[in-house]
Structure 1
Amino acid sequence: MTEDLTLDAKMATYEKNTRISIPSYDSLFAMIQSYYRVQLGENASLLVIGAGGGNELSAWAPSNPKWTFTGVDPSKEMLKMAKHKAVELGIENRVSLIQGKIDDLPRQNSKFDAASCILVLHFIDDVQEKLKLLGSIKDNLKSGAPFVLVSAYGDRDDAEFQDRLNVWKSFFLDAVWESSKVDEMVNGSIMNPMKISIIPENQIERLLAESGFTNITKFYSTGLFGGWICHGD
């Protein structure tokens, strides 16, 4: 019981802060679901990269009862949250959670109908590792399958990024975070390339193209984050 209460508290804090950082977070998932539904229909297998937290499960599983989910995340603690949500939603029979990276996926006869990688890419330091991840995602998708990528983006030295950063900071200040705490987060995380690897929008799109994705379309932008929809070739 104590472990469940601790997990609930961690989930609540994680989800609260995520929704401050991305005020349109729930709308983002609703937009992705709409696109998936049109592309996939009732029956689909989805690959979720960075499945810890389980937000993809809670956003998409209840209203799409024939979709199945394979989630991958290196964090054991985050996967506990995803498993907890799957149990609460009663969808354990449609969810497979794997601790590790995409290379740890079990061999299977068929590829996935769709994939998502939400708020993961900027935590991968090396550009070639980013490219490797995107290429592996594409290799695990059926031909023409939709893929959604959401990541922080920009050039830290560019005035446009600084303007967006000020907008992003306002989300936390308006949520009654202390100014010193917000500055600490900016300096210790957002502006620290050792913590977060932020690359420009055009570089993200080049990586997607190099990985074999086509019809690359930016469909979303809020604060520091952007979202792209594309398709495997």
Structure 2
Amino acid sequence: MNYDETAPFDVAAYRDAQKALPGADALYRLLLAHIEAALPQGGRVLIVGAGGGREIEALGGSAVRYEMTGVDPSADMLAIARRYAEQVGASNRVQLVQGEVPDVSAPPGGFDAATSMLVMHFLPDSGGAGGKAAYLAAIRKRLRKGAVLLHADVSFEDHAAFERAKPAFLRHARLAGLDKDLASAGPKAIEGLPIIGAERTAALLTSCGFSEVDLFYAALWYRAWVAYAA
């Protein structure tokens, strides 16, 4: 698949579209806080879905030195990530790989941390090579034991829960400054995605080699978990 020709959103509008995510700045600040707490002396971080640069911007701007490997299937999105690496002065600590998790070679001993932010909800909940379980297992395979994973997804239990949250999401997006079309783009895209609930997400993380799975962020249909490589 060519992810630049079939992107799930307008790449040029990526940063504006993220304003619709309630508490987006707090989410990425919490991501940094978890990684700094787990790795106060620095370490090697795998960033899955690195295109767009939010994680690189957060980690690259830290006073703690992190070596980052970012992977994303979209060349256009990786170009944005590269610009943010330059802006925070982290270009010499960032390696970008166009592809998917299996295309990344782990460093000796494995990565010390990984982030998976708003990626897995695009994948089917199946046992196939392109499914959610295979995705999480591929991340776990590249981590050392005890490494921390920060994982965020669109997550809700059923379509009724999604519909109940939609009016607040749309109003929040408009309050954040998005026009009507951009505000409504998120819910329209989500309706066609293979979304799973929090219980299923925690079960997948556990079955794929992670332990101590805790929810640390929830805002409307967005959820984020911290877990550790068992």
Which one has a larger percent helix, Structure 1 or Structure 2? Answer: 1
With normalisation by structure 1, the TM-score equals 0.85
Distance 2:94 2:164 in 1: 40
Q: 1:212: how far off?
A: 1.1
Distance 2:139 2:178 in 1: 39
Which residue number in structure 2 is paired with residue 165 of structure 1?
166
Which residue number in structure 1 is paired with residue 113 of structure 2?
114
Q: How does 1:135-154 map onto structure 2 within 5 Å?
A: 135-154=137-156
Instruction: Give the one of 152, 155, 158 matched to 2:157.
Output: 155
Q: Answer whether contact 1:52 1:80 (CA < 8 A) is retained.
A: yes
Task: Output one character per residue of 1:172-231: Cα deviation in whole Å (capped at 9) or x when no partner.
Answer: 2433633x7755653x42222xxx221111111111011011000001011221000010
Which amino acid in structure 2 is aligned with residue 230 of structure 1?
A
The Cα RMSD (Å) is 2.0
- SS state of the match for residue 127, structure 1? coil
Q: 1:35: how far off?
A: 1.6
Which residue number in structure 1 is paired with residue 5 of structure 2?
none
Cα distance change of structure 1 residues 120 and 71 upon mapping to structure 2, 3 Å threshold: same
Distance 2:126 2:84 in 1: 32
Q: 1:34: how far off?
A: 1.2
Cα distance change of structure 1 residues 213 and 64 upon mapping to structure 2, 3 Å threshold: same
Give me the identity figure in percent: 27
Distance 2:67 2:47 in 1: 10
1:61 equivalent to 2:60? Answer yes
Distance 1:49 1:184 in 2: 23
Q: How many residues align?
A: 217
- SS state of the match for residue 155, structure 1? coil
Deviates most, 65-74 or 165-174: 165-174
Distance 1:85 1:226 in 2: 25
Q: Which has the larger radius of gyration?
A: 1
Instruction: Give the one of 210, 218, 222 matched to 1:221.
Output: 218
Cα distance change of structure 1 residues 176 and 81 upon mapping to structure 2, 3 Å threshold: closer
Which amino acid in structure 1 is aligned with residue 78 of structure 2?
L
Cα distance change of structure 1 residues 69 and 107 upon mapping to structure 2, 3 Å threshold: closer
Distance 1:11 1:161 in 2: 25
Q: Answer whether contact 1:42 1:64 (CA < 8 A) is retained.
A: no
- SS state of the match for residue 217, structure 2? strand
Cα distance change of structure 1 residues 113 and 94 upon mapping to structure 2, 3 Å threshold: same
Q: How does 1:35-184 map onto structure 2 within 5 Å?
A: 35-106=34-105, 108-128=107-127, 129-158=131-160, 160-174=161-175, 175=177, 177-178=179-180, 182=183
Distance 2:87 2:152 in 1: 26
Which residue number in structure 1 is paired with residue 16 of structure 2?
16
Which amino acid in structure 1 is aligned with residue 31 of structure 2?
I
Which amino acid in structure 2 is aligned with residue 45 of structure 1?
R
Task: Output one character per residue of 1:96-146: Cα deviation in whole Å (capped at 9) or x when no partner.
Answer: 000001111135322000000001011113433110010111111111111
- SS state of the match for residue 108, structure 1? coil
Q: Answer whether contact 2:78 2:96 (CA < 8 A) is retained.
A: yes
Structure 1: stretches of 5+ with no match in the other structure:
1-9
Structure 2: stretches of 5+ with no match in the other structure:
1-9
With normalisation by structure 2, the TM-score equals 0.86
